[in-house]
Amino acid sequence: MDELDAYSRTVSAVAAELTGKVAAVSTGRGSGSAVVTGEGVLVTNAHVVGGSTGGRAEFVDGTRVAVRVAGSDPLSDLAVLRAERPGDLPAPVRLGDADRLVVGQLVVAVGNPLGLAGSVTAGVVSALGRALPTRSATAARVVEDVIQTDAALNPGNSGGALADATGAVVGINTAVAGIGLGLAVPVNATTRRIVAALLADGRVRRAYLGVVGKPAPVPAEVAERHHRRNGLRLAEVIAGSPADRAGLRAGDLVLDVDRRPVQDAQGVQRALFAEAIGRPLAVTVLRNGAMVDVVAVPTELG
């Protein structure tokens, strides 16, 4: 009974802290939830705002605030809203770090499912490191390190908060993947960079390398010598791409990009933000048993 009481107290405390800071958002293209993350700033999903330029945020206390879309990034499924009257927003949430989550950890989801404002559900982190395919008009990508939870998520939860037991927001709920299976974009260093770029520029500039691959094990002798188990096996190098011009080939096993270890496609994506555009990028691959270094110069993803 004590354990149940402790659990209930934790969920209730998180709910009390967050329900007033998660709004129901309606735009010309869709509806969902949004989280107050800064002075006059809310974060939601890109698929919630669609192509809209503005809309309205409504809080559980009845406060209604006109908002405009400051920036949207379909490839991360994140969007940033600015309130027309910043002073009408409640204090922002505390942001946590999803990179510190562990499977089995308690999480609480706050949002507006099915139009029911201020709804709270609880569950655990079911899995970490999931990948969520996303697409824009010109490119496709996977959102890395997505959080999987069994906290009940329904239409309208998108853009809402996923918080840990301390009330720190560690994810932005994004999708219902099935019965008892919800997904959230992690709040981590990458997410913070994306939100900062959207606030500053209204978009996220990314570099383009031109490779397609999947994780593959590193041969035992190489793994022991270089202290890694996996790399990215290139299945395709796009003709005429920066990777092609640099001499990368299908079958290469990518071990490092920009002198940092790579184990999957997400590892490559981490190196391909705006600062990589037009800058020589060192790529180390294993080819026919030999280590090969090439230098690619990424272009801007259009």
Average pLDDT over residues 131-160: 76
pLDDT of residue 263: 87
Is 77 annotated in the active site? yes
Which of the four pLDDT bands, split at 50, 70 and 90, describes residue 76?
A: confident
> Which of 32, 58, 88 lies at the terminal end of a domain, its last residue?
88
Which of the four pLDDT bands, split at 50, 70 and 90, describes residue 4?
A: low
Residue 199, domain member (yes or no):
no
169 and 121 fall within a common domain: yes
258 and 236 fall within a common domain: yes
73 and 7 fall within a common domain: yes
DSSP 189-249: HHHHHHHHHHHHHSS--BEE--EEEEEEEPPHHHHHHHT-SEEEEEEEE-TTSHHHHHT--
- Six token digits for residue 124: 């655990």
| pLDDT exceeds cutoff 80 at 178 | no
83 and 11 fall within a common domain: yes
Residue 197, domain member (yes or no):
no
> Which of 70, 88, 106 lies at the terminal end of a domain, its last residue?
88
pLDDT of residue 301: 85
> Which of 146, 163, 189 lies at the terminal end of a domain, its last residue?
189
Residues pairing with 64 in the sheet: 58
Average pLDDT over residues 68-93: 94
| pLDDT exceeds cutoff 80 at 83 | yes
213 and 292 fall within a common domain: yes
What is the distance between the alpha carbons of residues 264 and 285, in angstroms, rounded to a whole number?
13
| pLDDT exceeds cutoff 90 at 197 | yes
Percentage of the chain modeled with pLDDT above 90? 65
How many domains does the chain fold into?
3
Residue 281, domain member (yes or no):
yes
120 and 149 fall within a common domain: yes
Which of the four pLDDT bands, split at 50, 70 and 90, describes residue 3?
A: low
Judged by average pLDDT, the poorest of 34-48, 135-149, 233-247, 249-263 is 135-149
Residue 11, domain member (yes or no):
yes
- 262 neighbors 254 (Cβ within 8 angstroms): yes
Q: Is 121 helix (H, G, I), strand (E, B) or coil?
A: strand
Residue 196, domain member (yes or no):
no
pLDDT of residue 282: 96
DSSP 42-110: EEE-HHHHTT-SEEEEE-TTS-EEEEEEEEEETTTTEEEEEESSGGGSPPPPPB--GGG--TT-EEEEE
Q: Which residues contact 216 (CB under 8 A, 6 or more apart)?
A: 230, 231, 232, 233, 253
181 and 226 fall within a common domain: no
pLDDT tens readout for residues 104-114: 999 999 998 76
Residue 155, domain member (yes or no):
yes
Is 52 annotated in the active site? no
**Residue 134 sits in a domain of what CATH number?**
2.40.10.10
**Residue 256 sits in a domain of what CATH number?**
2.30.42.10
Q: Find the catalytic residue in 26, 158, 164, 258.
A: 158
Q: Structural domain of residue 157, as residue ranges?
A: 98-189
Q: For residue 33, which of 20, 47, 42, 23 has the smallest C-alpha distance?
A: 23
115 and 82 fall within a common domain: no
Q: Find the catalytic residue in 77, 252, 256, 264.
A: 77
Q: Is 15 helix (H, G, I), strand (E, B) or coil?
A: helix
pLDDT of residue 213: 87
231 and 171 fall within a common domain: no
Residue 232, domain member (yes or no):
yes
11 and 84 fall within a common domain: yes
Q: Find the catalytic residue in 26, 47, 76, 119.
A: 47
- 57 neighbors 83 (Cβ within 8 angstroms): yes
pTM: 0.81
- Six token digits for residue 274: 């705006």
Cβ-based burial of 216 (10 A; exposed 0-12, middle 13-18, buried ≥19): middle
Residue 200, domain member (yes or no):
no
Is 158 annotated in the active site? yes
Q: Alpha carbon of 285 to those of 7, 255, 261, 281, 289: distances in Å?
A: 49, 5, 11, 13, 10
15 and 68 fall within a common domain: yes
pLDDT tens readout for residues 220-269: 988 888 788 899 999 999 999 999 999 999 999 999 999 999 988 878 88
- 5 neighbors 13 (Cβ within 8 angstroms): no
104 and 180 fall within a common domain: yes
